[in-house]
Amino acid sequence: MPKAKKPQSTAVIGAQWGDEGKGKIVDRLAPEHDAVIRYNGGANAGHTIVVQGKRFSLHLVPSGILYPDKKAIIANGVVVDPDQLLKEIDNLEAQGIDTAGLILSDRAHIVTPYHKAEDARRETLLAREFNEQEATGGIGTTRRGIGPAYAEKAHRAAAIRVADLLRPAELKQLVSRAAQLASPEIREDPDIPSPEAICDRFIEIGEILRPRITDTSYLLHDLQRAGKRLLFEGGNATLLDVDHGTYPYVTSSNSSALGIPAGAGISPKAIHNILAICKAYCTRVGGGPFPTEIQDDLATTIRERGREFGTTTGRPRRIGWLDLVALRYAVMLNGVDSLCMTMLDVLSGIDPIKVCIAYEIDGNRTERFLPDARSLARAKPVLISLPGFTEDISAVRSLDDLPSNARHYLSYVEEHAGAPLSLAGVGPDREQTIEIH
Ligand code: GDP
Ligand code: IMO
Ligand code: MG
């Protein structure tokens, strides 16, 4: 039989509440692609890649950057904190990584110091009401200015885009308008640089970034026409999508696959393969309902074993059992072609392994996800137990070499999630991956 032709474009999407291991899988798939594209979110994302024990933490820079011959494209849908971007470029260069392939959309929006201050101001104000399970209080954001930057984009009048960094006169007007519209508390905060200082810094950064700035939508079309292979890297995840996630405990962009066409300026028809990443259990950072959350010591065990602390904020991640109701929803919403299950190694020694197959809400059973946070907060998980395994599987590289209970777990998930498994992760290193089909 001739080998099936590989799809020209693939999207790697988080199927849960983030931190599923997208960075590792993008890095793993990058060699067989020509460009890796971020299309949503900003420095709220934290993607970790481990190569022979060396860790790279990326926030804005696409996870294809470790390969010097690949383009790493930040497309129009991303909100860019210019200082953070420069810091990341400098860190990578200092680690010996050639960042020449990094390209930035002229239409990506800029996160300003006002946005970060506004994000923090709102979170602090609402923190008093904050309650992780109830749908009240603060969101528990990363305080990276994401919400205010996307809000500014929708407001339009004082929004700054990457191209504006190269137009000093217009930039000055926009920054002074942004300052005028900022809350008095922020405008008068001595820790916030003056509009003149912000403007000078943006012009300086614009000059540094100038050679990387282009219309990435045309670039992507040119690459497609030339038969090049594209890899889209989702920031955040499906259940954090502003339209389809557990609103209001979500981020401010379309962080499912549904955000790709708008965020990259390509047709929905140009995405040929959707690979969703899920952990062997669930985690969540920040507030919002989490039906399968584990409240006892087992959460601490899993957190420590899986190093479940935020890449962006260092916050301990909340831990829960795998939620198949939520996973089926993610499969449906994204049109998933296959799944990659990461962190299988972390479950070694945990017996039984529980999974959620349905919810009970007000005495009724449902197998449908409830993306409305206020409804989901009332859902009780229906959990079943599967037999665990005790072996260390971190050196396993083929499905046949996994303990039978680990294989059984994978096939149970495959059967109930509604999509085939194509990959499984057994450790953080790019090599610690099992190819399934
Ligand atoms: P992302 O935001 O989806 O890219 O994920 P993060 O990088 O924020 O978090 C995933 C964490 O798990 C990182 O520390 C990865 O190095 C690590 N990781 C990824 N896959 C695996 C796996 O299969 N097993 C283990 N033990 N760790 C993994
Ligand atoms: P990656 O790409 C985990 C969560 C935040 C918060 C909510 C809103 O690493 O998977 P925001 O700062 O976006 O306004 O925060 O969304 N959040 C993430 N959680 N991983 C992420 O990205 C996240 N991006 C946003 O914790 O609850
Ligand atoms: Mg992350």
Ligand 1, atom 13, lies closest to the CA of 48
The verdict on 165 and 233 lying in the same domain is no
How many domains does one find in the chain?
2
Give the distance (Å) from ligand 3 centre to CA of residue 141: 13
| 258 neighbors 245 (Cβ within 8 angstroms) | no
Q: What are phi and psi of 204, to 5 degrees?
A: -60, -45
Indicate if ligand 2 lies below 6 Å from the C-beta of 346. Answer: no
More confident residue, 381 or 287: 381
Share of the chain above pLDDT 90, in %: 93
Indicate if ligand 2 lies below 6 Å from the C-beta of 327. Answer: no
The owner of tokens 């000059």 is 207
The verdict on 175 and 249 lying in the same domain is no
Can 215 be counted among the known catalytic residues?
no
- 3 within domain boundaries: no
Indicate if ligand 1 lies below 6 Å from the C-beta of 312. Answer: no
- 1 within domain boundaries: no
The verdict on 130 and 262 lying in the same domain is no
The verdict on 250 and 316 lying in the same domain is yes
- 146 within domain boundaries: yes
Q: What is the pLDDT of residues 398-428, one digit of tens each?
A: 999 999 999 999 999 999 999 999 999 999 9
The verdict on 114 and 14 lying in the same domain is no
- 61 within domain boundaries: yes
Range of the domain at 125: 109-213
Indicate if ligand 1 lies below 6 Å from the C-beta of 203. Answer: no
Q: What is the pLDDT of residues 345-363, one digit of tens each?
A: 999 999 999 999 999 999 9
Q: What would the mean pLDDT of 196-218 be, rounded to a whole number?
A: 98
Domain final residue pick, 153, 183, 213? 213
**Helix 146-155 with 113-127: angle, nearest 10 deg:** 120
Domain final residue pick, 190, 213, 236? 213
The verdict on 311 and 220 lying in the same domain is yes
The verdict on 284 and 392 lying in the same domain is yes
The verdict on 326 and 411 lying in the same domain is yes
- 301 within domain boundaries: yes
Q: Rounded to whole angstroms, how far apart are CA atoms 343 and 25?
A: 12
Give the distance (Å) from ligand 2 centre to CA of residue 44: 6
The verdict on 254 and 369 lying in the same domain is yes
249: CATH:
3.90.170.10
| 113 neighbors 193 (Cβ within 8 angstroms) | yes
**Strands 35-38 and 353-361, bridge-based pairing:** unpaired
- 317 within domain boundaries: yes
Give the distance (Å) from ligand 2 centre to CA of residue 251: 6
Residue 134 clears pLDDT 60, i.e. is over it: no
Domain final residue pick, 146, 181, 213? 213
The owner of tokens 């899993």 is 302
Indicate if ligand 1 lies below 6 Å from the C-beta of 235. Answer: no
**Strands 102-105 and 213-214, bridge-based pairing:** parallel
Q: What would the mean pLDDT of 204-223 be, rounded to a whole number?
A: 98
- Cis ω before 352 (30° cut-off from 0): yes
Q: What is the pTM of this model?
A: 0.97
Residue 112 clears pLDDT 50, i.e. is over it: yes
- 59 within domain boundaries: yes
The verdict on 66 and 135 lying in the same domain is no
Catalytic pick from 19, 34, 241, 429? 19
Q: What would the mean pLDDT of 265-277 be, rounded to a whole number?
A: 97
Residue 180 clears pLDDT 80, i.e. is over it: yes
Residue 386 clears pLDDT 70, i.e. is over it: yes
b/e per residue, 78-109, with b = 16+ CB within 10 A? bbbbbebbbebbeebeeeebebebbbbbbbbb
The verdict on 232 and 350 lying in the same domain is yes
Ligand 2, atom 24, lies closest to the CA of 236
Catalytic pick from 27, 33, 34, 47? 47
Q: What would the two tokens of residue 246 be?
A: 């557990």
- 2 within domain boundaries: no
Can 408 be counted among the known catalytic residues?
no
Ligand 2, atom 11, lies closest to the CA of 141
114: CATH:
1.10.300.10
Ligand 2, atom 15, lies closest to the CA of 141
